[in-house]
Amino acid sequence: MVETNIRIVGYGERLYLDARRVQMRTSDAAPDLPEKACRLLRLNHGLAAVPHLSNGTPQLFVASPVPLSELVLGGDDWRVELHDVGQTRLYANDPRDVELMARLFERYLLVQLGQRTSMWTLDSPRIWYEAKPFQVEDGIAAIRRFHVSVVPVEGEGLGVVIHVSTAFFTIDTVADFFDESLPSEVQEQRQRRFEELSLRQRGQKGTLLYDLRRNQHKCHFEEVLSGVTCATTGPVPVNGTIYPSLHDYYERERPYAGIAADDPVARVSFPKRDRPRPVAANRLRLRVMNTALPKALKQVDKIPPNERTRLVDRFWNAVGEDLLSKGLKPGLWRPPVTKIVNLKGPTLLFGRGEKLPMPARSTTDALKAHFRSRLSKLNHAGCYHVPPALERQIVLAYPGRLDSAMVNEFADGVVKRLNQWTRKQLSIEALPYTNVTEAISELNSRAMGMVVFVFEGVEPETYYLLSAELKNRRIKRVTVSELISRYSQQSFIDMNALDVLEQLGCVPWTLATPLNYQAQLAIDVGVDRRYFALSLLVCRPESYQPSFWLDSLICPKPDSRRETIERDILRDQIVKLQAIASSSAGSR
């Protein structure tokens, strides 16, 4: 039996929804205009609305039982007139309607959440944070949040999905971290803590929760304005109006926030705003990323299934079962057995023709044991494929201040595993350096291709510059702190050796039975849309060469505003990857 985090809306596929069709009159053809209008309908009028293209013309569907009166919506540089053109009925059993219906239901739900609960949203209208933390450790509050969405469920109608996750914020405000009334050593200590928690030393700006009690916003830390208070900021422009001071702005526009004249000030930047602006520093709390959490909070975001069920129930209790007039079917949705497919993993093929089948029963313990036995099988049988021209010499560059005995122990461990897996004699030369620039210069003067590079700190720029400066070399990066704490652990050695093994062009194992297609190409766009990656997996009978090949290409994506990859660039990169695979066949 499988239990989901979905509640099915009452009446199942017999459900229908009456909505108003609304035309937009505007001279602005900007593609984001319909969504802007929907947002204002939600915020200013408490109405759920979704954009829809009708014969190429954008219009809105609004969840309202009565006709909309003529409305004019607008912002700094846009304006739109809304005109109700009649009612339409959407049916859950009509595939043309059900997606639209789900989106409209979802927005209705989001409007209701804001009206019925004390939960709040930050950077997405679909993610709702509980009002109070469930745990506080070391000055950091852990808060549960609920991701809400409505999806069509085939054969069932509409389902409301509630996914639970956890967010962390500091108890102290930015004003506390930068309190100038404290002794200088305490100030330094607090600011160092701020830097650590915000990951600013790793290149992050520091994400902040700007909490004005009635509404919350996300922003990024720029600086604290030393000695400046809300009353002494001088003129402050906000949305086209100039206020004599920041305090004056709060008094006039946000009186409920309770900002005092002598409250300290920080400069922050808001998403989609051109310039940073000053705000009250005691209304800013730092969002803490998982990597900066204290040990006591490291595991609280790993929620076991029974706890998830309890939290989803808590959400529905807080919201009320009568949220949707049609009601919800009781309990979380359990798909019928006919809809559940248990995918079985393939048998793996190692060196010397040795195989590792999947366990007969797919229990958690059996699957864990199977994954563990992959490494022991590799140790025993060796790699499925080792290139004939395998590079035998590896350089391990490390800061000269490190204990050479420690470095050598790690290097010996790695090379021992590589020799065992490849059945070749490889060697590692340990190369101490005094600074990264010197090491890069030395490595670039050598005719070698594989480098294990140990470096201080975890700043992303060092990580990035290494690959930019060590051109045409394969690099395995290891940080000093990792090496010092884990150099003698076999699992650490194995994971590093596996990475080096793959970068040397070896195939540790393949699938014993070819796939349905000879090759599979995966295309993925990075989360910030600045890169895309192509992965080509070739897996076919051994009569073909190569019978197994796997490689990836990562390519910068020039237009980071859209997820779409430019056609010409995608085509050329696919051809490039295929050419690499073809040349690989020739070399085998």
Partner 1 sequence: MPEVIQLSLFDDAWIDTTEEAQIEWSYSRRQTLERCARQYYYDYYSAKAHLATTDPQKENIRFLSTLSNRYLRSGDILHIAIRLFYKHGDSSSEWLVDWARRTYRTDYEYSRAGGRPHPPDERYLPTMLLEFYYSQPNAEALYVESEERLVSALESFLTGPAYADARYGGQRSSAEVEEWVFVKTTAFNARGKVDLAFPQDGRLSIVDWKTGEAEAPTGSLQLAFYALWAVETKGYRPEDITLYRGQLMEGSLQPVALNERILPRVRARIVQDLEPMRVLDGYGRDAVVDAFPPCGFPKVCRLCPYQRICPGVTI
Q: Which of 57, 72, 77, 325 binds partner 1 (CB under 8 A)?
A: 77
Q: Which of 461, 524, 542, 563 binds partner 1 (CB under 8 A)?
A: 461
Question: Judged by CB under 8 A, does residue 562 bind partner 1?
Answer: yes
Q: Convert residues 511-550 into a mask of x (bound to partner 1 by CB under 8 A) and - (unbound).
A: -------------------x--------------------
Least distance (Å) between residue 3 CB and partner 1: 44
Of 413, 358, 415, the C-alpha closest to 391 is: 415
* Subset of residues 248 to 307 that bind partner 1, contact rule: CB under 8 A: 269, 273-276
Question: Judged by CB under 8 A, does residue 203 bind partner 1?
Answer: yes
Question: Judged by CB under 8 A, does residue 74 bind partner 1?
Answer: no
Candidate segments 7-15, 134-142, 302-310, 453-461, binder of partner 1 by CB under 8 A: 453-461
Distance, CA of 526 to CA of 457 (rounded, Å): 25
Q: Which of 155, 320, 327, 556 binds partner 1 (CB under 8 A)?
A: 556
Distance, CA of 230 to CA of 263 (rounded, Å): 6
Q: Which of 93, 165, 564, 582 binds partner 1 (CB under 8 A)?
A: 564
Do residues 454 and 397 touch, judged by C-beta distance below 8 A?
Answer: yes
Specify the DSSP class assigned to residue 69: P
Candidate segments 345-353, 358-366, 519-527, 551-559, binder of partner 1 by CB under 8 A: 551-559
Q: Which of 468, 491, 543, 583 binds partner 1 (CB under 8 A)?
A: 468
Residue 586, token pair as written in the block: 């020739």
Residue 587, token pair as written in the block: 């070399």
Q: Which of 289, 300, 318, 569 binds partner 1 (CB under 8 A)?
A: 569
Least distance (Å) between residue 192 CB and partner 1: 14
Do residues 260 and 230 touch, judged by C-beta distance below 8 A?
Answer: yes
Q: Which of 171, 321, 566, 575 binds partner 1 (CB under 8 A)?
A: 566
Q: Is 148 helix (H, G, I), strand (E, B) or coil?
A: strand
Candidate segments 109-117, 167-175, 504-512, 559-567, binder of partner 1 by CB under 8 A: 559-567
Q: Convert residues 129-168 into a mask of x (bound to partner 1 by CB under 8 A) and - (unbound).
A: ----------------------------------------
Question: Judged by CB under 8 A, does residue 238 bind partner 1?
Answer: no
Question: Judged by CB under 8 A, does residue 29 bind partner 1?
Answer: yes
Q: Which of 1, 31, 57, 337 binds partner 1 (CB under 8 A)?
A: 31
Q: How many CA atoms lie within 13 A of 448 on its CB side?
A: 18
Do residues 500 and 525 touch, judged by C-beta distance below 8 A?
Answer: no
Specify the DSSP class assigned to residue 546: S
Least distance (Å) between residue 203 CB and partner 1: 6
Which CB, 3 or 195, lies closer to partner 1? 195
Q: Which of 18, 188, 223, 542 binds partner 1 (CB under 8 A)?
A: 223
Do residues 23 and 67 touch, judged by C-beta distance below 8 A?
Answer: no
Distance, CA of 513 to CA of 343 (rounded, Å): 15
Burial class (CB in 10 A: 0-12, 13-18, 19+), 146: buried
Burial class (CB in 10 A: 0-12, 13-18, 19+), 426: buried
Question: Judged by CB under 8 A, does residue 30 bind partner 1?
Answer: yes
**Which residues are CB-neighbours of 62 under 8 A, at least 6 positions away?**
19, 20, 22, 41, 47, 48, 49, 68
Burial class (CB in 10 A: 0-12, 13-18, 19+), 73: buried
* Subset of residues 85 to 114 that bind partner 1, contact rule: CB under 8 A: none
Q: Which amino acid is at 218?
A: K
Number of residues that bind partner 1 (CB under 8 A): 37
Least distance (Å) between residue 178 CB and partner 1: 14
Residue 569, token pair as written in the block: 């660039």
Least distance (Å) between residue 88 CB and partner 1: 28
Burial 461-475 (b: 16+ CB within 10 A, else e): eebeebeeebeebbb
Phi–psi pair at 5, nearest 5 degrees: -105, 30
Question: Judged by CB under 8 A, does residue 558 bind partner 1?
Answer: yes
Q: Which residues make up the interface to partner 1 (CB under 8 A)?
A: 28-31, 77, 201, 203, 222-223, 269, 273-276, 444, 459-462, 464-465, 468-469, 530, 555-562, 564, 566-569
